[in-house]
């Protein structure tokens, strides 16, 4: 009986920790505001990202993702977005916007509606889809996962920006 109680307590703690972790706001992750013009903060609001892109005259990198269930999205984040090389490049080159469709992370109804509208507007069919956008929302180009890490991915992004800029 003690083993069952101990296991129940351990399971309860694991669930509590997992829930606390999944609903917390990770470092460097914006909830729609904050961040200086030369930062690498991921915004979750189109309006905030567009305003920052207009003010900084930089394109928007919009990441359409299933951050907690899409294998390729997770791989892209680990191999590219979470690297110092990408963070440095993003801080000087783009405004970051994450359009997330999580399965287990909590998300406001407002964010769900806004994200669904953006998926429909840009006809996104799968994840990850990365769109390079002008501040007015015009598509410059499209990327997804690419093998080769941050350097290869950044090079492809820069080619797209150069064509659209």
Given a cut of 90, whether residue 53 has pLDDT beyond it is yes
Residues 6+ apart with CB under 8 A from 21: none
In contact, 49 and 96? CB cutoff 8 Å: yes
Residue 1: pLDDT above 70? no
Fold that domain 26-164 belongs to in CATH: Glutaredoxin (3.40.30)
Q: Give residue-wise pLDDT tens across range 71-119.
A: 999 999 999 999 999 999 999 999 999 999 999 999 999 999 999 999 9
Residue 40's pLDDT is what?
75
CA atoms within 13 A on the CB side of 68: 13
60-65 vs 129-133, strand pairing mode = antiparallel
Q: Please enumerate in sequence order all residues whose Cβ is within 8 A of that of 63, keeping only pairs 6 or more positions apart, or say none.
A: 42, 81, 96, 97, 98, 99, 128, 130
pLDDT tens digits along 148-161: 999 999 999 999 99
Please write the tens of the pLDDT for every residue from 123-143.
999 999 999 999 999 999 999
Position 36 scores a pLDDT of 44
C-alpha separations of 23 from 31, 77, 98, 101, 141 in Å: 12, 18, 16, 14, 32
Query: What is the model's pTM?
Result: 0.77
**Residue 39: per-residue pLDDT:** 63
Q: How far is CA 28 from the centre of its chain?
A: 11
In the chain, domain spans: 26-164
Alpha carbon 60 to its chain's center: 12
Determine the pLDDT at residue 2: 66
Higher per-residue confidence, 147 vs 30:
147
Residue 30 has pLDDT above 50, yes or no: no
pLDDT for residue 27: 35
What's the rounded Cα separation, in Å, for the pair 23 and 112? 15
């Amino acid at each position: 009986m003690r083993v069952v109680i101990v296991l129940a307590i351990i399971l309860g703690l694991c669930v509590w920790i997992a829930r606390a972790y999944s609903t917390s706001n990770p470092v460097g992750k914006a909830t729609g505001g904050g961040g200086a013009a030369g930062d690498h903060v991921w915004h979750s609001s189109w309006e905030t990202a567009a305003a920052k892109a207009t003010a900084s005259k930089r394109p928007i990198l919009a990441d359409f993702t299933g951050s907690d269930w899409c294998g390729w999205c997770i791989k892209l984040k680990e191999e590219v977005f979470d690297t110092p090389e990408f963070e440095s490049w993003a801080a000087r080159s783009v405004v970051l916007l994450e359009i997330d469709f999580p399965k287990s992370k909590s998300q406001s109804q407002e964010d769900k509606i806004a994200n669904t509208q953006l998926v429909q507007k840009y006809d996104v069919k799968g994840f990850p889809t990365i769109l390079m956008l002008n501040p007015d929302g015009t598509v410059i180009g499209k990327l997804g996962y690419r093998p080769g890490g941050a350097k290869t991915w950044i090079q492809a992004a820069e080619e797209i920006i150069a064509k659209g800029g």
